[in-house]
Amino acid sequence: MTDIWGYALMRPLWALAIPVIALLGVALARRRRALGAWEAAVDAPLLAALDRLGKVSRGGRRIGWLAPVIAALIALALTGPSKERRDGVAFRNLDGVVIAVDLSRSMIEGGRFADAMTTARLIALSVGTRQVSLVVYGGDAYRASAFTSDAAALGQTIAFLDADTVPDDGSRPERALVLGGRILRDAEIILGDLVLISDGGGLGPEAMAQARALNEAGVPLSTIFVPSRAPQSPPPDRAALDRLAAAGGGAAGDLLDPFPVTRALEQGLERRLRAMEDAVHRRRDYGRFLLLLAVIPALMLFRRRV
C-alpha cells in the first residue's frame, strides 16, 4: 500500500498501466489521420482531391483521444485510491496488543522494576491506534486491564503496579501466555501481538510450547528482558527469554534497547494494512468514483453522427 498526500493506493501496480496507455495514445494520435494501405494504393493528388471533397472517411477520428482517456481513468480507478475510515467504530477490535508484565519477587526486588514499568508504558504508547490490554503474573496470571485505545490511561494503570498486585508467589509465564491468547480470542481480535516483559524467570518447556502455539495461531510473541538481580533469587536469564521470542516468532529487546519490539509492532501493523480483507474495512475506496468519471467520455462514443 502506497501513501500519497494522505491517500493510499491499495493496488499500486495498476499505476504502471497509465504510462503505457499514454504511449499508446500518442501513437494512436499520430496514426489518427492515416488511411493505412489506401495511401499506397491511391495516387497522392487523387487522394488529396477526394479528401477536399469530403469523400474520405478517416477511421478512428471519433475515438482518437477518447479511448486512451477512458483506459487511463479505468487504470487509475483500479489502483484503489483510498483513505482511512474515521467512522469505522464497528471495526475497532480488528487489531490488538497484549502486554504481559512479570510481577514476581525477582522483578519487584531486582532494582530495575521502575525501568521495566517505564518500558511497559513505552510499548503501550508505541502501538498507535491499536488497542492494548494488560496482563500481570507471578505464580498465576491475571487480567489487569481490558482492551483500550487510551494508552495514557493504561500508563496510569501500569504506574500503580507493585508487589501487592499479584497475590501468588512464583513466576509462571506460561499462564500469562495462555491468558493473553485467550483474551485475544475472546475479544475476536483478528490479528494480534503479545509482548512479555520479564527477567526470564520461570521459563520452561510449558512456556516454550505456549509460545509456539501462539505463533502457529498467528500471534507473534515478543519479549523485553529486564536484568533484575534480586537477592536469593535465580539470576536473570536473557538467553532463555530470547529463545522464547524466537519460538514465538517475535522480536527480542531489553530495557536499554526496546526498539526491536516497537519496530516489530509497527511492521506488523503495516503488514495488516496491506491485507486486502482488513483494508476493505479500514479504508474507503474512491476508485468507484473514478469509474463514474470514465463513463462520461465513454458516452461520447455512442453519439450519432448527423
Tell me the per-residue pLDDT of 212-223, one tens digit each, with 9 for 90 and over. 999 999 999 999
pTM for this prediction: 0.62
Residue appearing with cell numbers 502486554? 99
User: Which grid cell sits at 64?
Assistant: 482518437
CATH number corresponding to 89-278: 3.40.50.410
Per-domain boundaries in the chain = 2-80+286-300, 89-278
pLDDT in tens, 129-153: 789 999 999 999 999 999 998 988 9
pLDDT reported for residue 89: 45
Surface-to-core class of residue 237, CB atoms within 10 Å of its CB (0-12 exposed, 13-18 middle, 19+ buried): middle
Residue 60, pLDDT > 90, answer no
CB 119 within 8 A of CB 258: yes
Instruction: Annotate 1-67 with DSSP letters as a single string.
Output: -EEETTEEESSGGGGGHHHHHHHHHHHHHHTTT--TTHHHHS-HHHHHHHHHTT----TTTTTTTHH
d(CA 131, CA 164): 26
Share of the chain above pLDDT 90, in %: 45
- Collapse the DSSP code of 89 into the 3-class scheme (helix H, G, I; strand E, B; otherwise coil) and give the result: helix
Helix pair 205-216, 238-248: axis angle to 10 deg: 30
Query: In which residue are the cell numbers 502457529 written?
Result: 216
